[in-house]
Chain A
């Protein structure tokens, strides 16, 4: 691990001083200049537009114990459009995305929950946004991503070893892709859905499902996702892979579809759909349930926290996010869901350093 940058240290320290537990109502976000515009340097407060775009109502039944959110150490700098985060050995890794007026950042921040601090990991060899990330057998994989604002995907793939803090390049994807969901399961890495297109007009969701075998350093094809989409919430539960929500081409057309894939049969099956259709959200398995938070829609940034119980195939709503965001990094670290960074308003115009954790 490289040493802390000066900026990381200051940001983490400031958060440590200002860490009271906020009231558990939506909208009580961390204060101060924790945001930055993509087109203008300098920290700003939360944009006023967020108040009119934030939504919290869920049609799902309320859970008996709604849980609670707490502010945590701010990210070293405002970021968004990472799309995902991943965790291993009690550390959350957030890779790539927008920040500091560029859309192809190579940032790699690693969160240590015991110290409530962010460290700098070795930067991604190819900066990009919407990079698919997942751990498989103790190594972090970073797959594809967009080189421009939510467009122009590249095919390069990398693997990171936390022990040596080094990245290595692996076999590229057969075709470039961005915002694909990446899952490590049973020795294989699955790349599911995603989007292609070099321009905003031509951007299209795809149903591709490819599998990377680290032993062979090769990609192969599996049964495609039943409905093409990207910016999904995807995660393994037991031996199945669940793909929840996402967008069909655009966040104007968000999907509530929920499918489960069985690698043993190479087949997809429908599951109870997401109560609030959205994309650019987080999906984290916590105490046996899948928690979905954040996301983006037309003039909407979702704060709803909805959880799926695989045992009952049912959904419940929990305490909404303090600071609704999309294009965020979310992962289970210790016994809490950590959600860091993301955009507080529709689109990629503003990034945030906000970091909050949810626990029951």
Chain B
């Protein structure tokens, strides 16, 4: 059952698999960003590509590599599928994609809206991708040209920028995921949520690939600085003093109150164990998948 918090008039829609701890973290924090706007760093990758890698969907990732190859060759000005957000601009299409593709959970559909004015949105027809195996590389040309598929077009929206995640039911489930996996991280998670509210990048999480020998690791990095964390905490206290209704999850922040000397700093500022978020994999060097990943690591 899709959340009734999703409204047709909302700006856009995205599926967030909040059983995944990294997605749960960003969902509760309340802000999602495309990886093309994160600081320049070889290996930046989109959340959608991260999901494909984590699930071992190598054929799908190889197909994404072919679409990226056509984009780089003939449509360089377009957003890359490997770094943008995979969303929908129409709630009915989002639900239809669920029905056709069977790879999204209807409970995970949420509304989003731009956090900044300088976002980009490009609409393409996902049917070209689904029918790539039958059509061949011409499907990629027609996709990037913005052509509608002849039979029953299904538009998808690639987004670049930062976007607020609306609604509370998915975020409640996201919270429970982190609570279950790493309850000591909840204080920093609450700081991360407050930081997003204040426009700070503290606690933002982003995916990237790195290589260790023959092993490729998809990681998610949480931006955290203890000093900045304290500043966000102090600012939240100030907001609360001015306005007691200012929403703060006090039980989670409780470990940060009181005398620091009495507490273990590692416990106070517990960022989740990175191993919860990491996924190691290897690819055969001769495959197109290896080429795709190499392109990401070198871009």
Show the binding face of A for B, using Cβ within 8 Å: 59-60, 200-201, 203-204, 227, 229, 245, 248-250, 252-257, 270, 272-273, 275, 277, 297-300, 315
Q: In whole Å, how far is B151's beta carbon from the nearest beta carbon of chain A? A: 16
Nearest residue (CB) in A for B280 is A270
Q: In whole Å, how far is A234's beta carbon from the nearest beta carbon of chain B? A: 15
Question: In the complex, A297→B60 CA distance in Å?
Answer: 11
Whether B274 sits at the interface, judged by CB under 8 Å, is no
> Is there an interface contact between A277 and B282, defined as CB atoms closer than 8 Å?
no
What are 23 A-B residue pairs whose CB atoms fall within 8 Å in the complex?
A59-B287, A60-B284, A200-B102, A248-B55, A248-B57, A248-B103, A250-B101, A250-B103, A252-B103, A253-B55, A254-B57, A255-B55, A255-B57, A255-B58, A257-B56, A272-B282, A273-B58, A273-B282, A277-B56, A277-B58, A298-B133, A299-B133, A300-B133
| Most B Cβ at <10 Å: residue of A256, A270, A299 | A256
User: Which residues of chain B have C-beta atoms less than 8 A from A200's C-beta?
Assistant: 102
Question: In the complex, A272→B280 CA distance in Å?
Answer: 10
User: Which residues of chain B have C-beta atoms less than 8 A from A227's C-beta?
Assistant: 54-56
Q: In whole Å, how far is A332's beta carbon from the nearest beta carbon of chain B? A: 26
User: Which residues of chain A have C-beta atoms less than 8 A from B55's C-beta?
Assistant: 227, 229, 248, 253, 255, 257
- The proximity string for B residues 26-69 relative to A, scoring 1 for CB distances below 8 Å and 0 otherwise, is 00000000000000000000000000001111111000000000
User: Which residues of chain A have C-beta atoms less than 8 A from B59's C-beta?
Assistant: 254, 277, 297
Q: In whole Å, how far is A206's beta carbon from the nearest beta carbon of chain B? A: 11
Q: Which of B54, B281, B284 contacts A275 (CB 8 A)?
A: B284
User: Which residues of chain A have C-beta atoms less than 8 A from B102's C-beta?
Assistant: 200-201, 203, 249-250, 252
Question: In the complex, A74→B133 CA distance in Å?
Answer: 33
Question: In the complex, A227→B283 CA distance in Å?
Answer: 18
Nearest residue (CB) in B for A278 is B59
Question: In the complex, A229→B102 CA distance in Å?
Answer: 13
Nearest residue (CB) in A for B284 is A59
- The proximity string for B residues 272-288 relative to A, scoring 1 for CB distances below 8 Å and 0 otherwise, is 00000001111110110
Q: Which of A252, A255, A256 contacts B101 (CB 8 A)?
A: A252
Closest 4 CB pairs of A and B: A257-B56, A255-B56, A256-B58, A256-B56
Which size bracket describes the interface of B in this complex? 20 to 34
Question: In the complex, A16→B12 CA distance in Å?
Answer: 63
Question: In the complex, A250→B103 CA distance in Å?
Answer: 7
Nearest residue (CB) in A for B54 is A227
Q: Which of A229, A253, A270, A300 contacts B103 (CB 8 A)?
A: A253
Nearest residue (CB) in A for B63 is A298
- The proximity string for B residues 133-147 relative to A, scoring 1 for CB distances below 8 Å and 0 otherwise, is 110000000000000
Whether B294 sits at the interface, judged by CB under 8 Å, is no
User: Which residues of chain B have C-beta atoms less than 8 A from A245's C-beta?
Assistant: 56
Question: In the complex, A229→B133 CA distance in Å?
Answer: 23
Task: State whether A270 and B281 are in contact (beta carbons under 8 Å apart), knowing that A200-B102, A250-B102, A255-B56 are contacts in the complex.
Answer: yes
User: Which residues of chain B have C-beta atoms less than 8 A from A256's C-beta?
Assistant: 56-58
Nearest residue (CB) in A for B101 is A252
Question: In the complex, A270→B280 CA distance in Å?
Answer: 7
Question: In the complex, A299→B63 CA distance in Å?
Answer: 14
User: Which residues of chain A have C-beta atoms less than 8 A from B287's C-beta?
Assistant: 59, 275
Task: State whether A59 and B286 are in contact (beta carbons under 8 Å apart), knowing that A204-B105, A256-B56 are contacts in the complex.
Answer: yes
Task: State whether A253 and B60 are in contact (beta carbons under 8 Å apart), knowing that A204-B105, A270-B280 are contacts in the complex.
Answer: yes
Question: In the complex, A334→B57 CA distance in Å?
Answer: 35
Apart from A252-B101, A252-B103, what 20 extra A-B contacts exist at CB < 8 Å? A201-B102, A204-B105, A227-B54, A229-B55, A245-B56, A249-B102, A250-B103, A252-B102, A253-B55, A256-B58, A270-B280, A272-B282, A273-B58, A273-B281, A273-B283, A277-B56, A277-B57, A277-B58, A277-B59, A300-B133
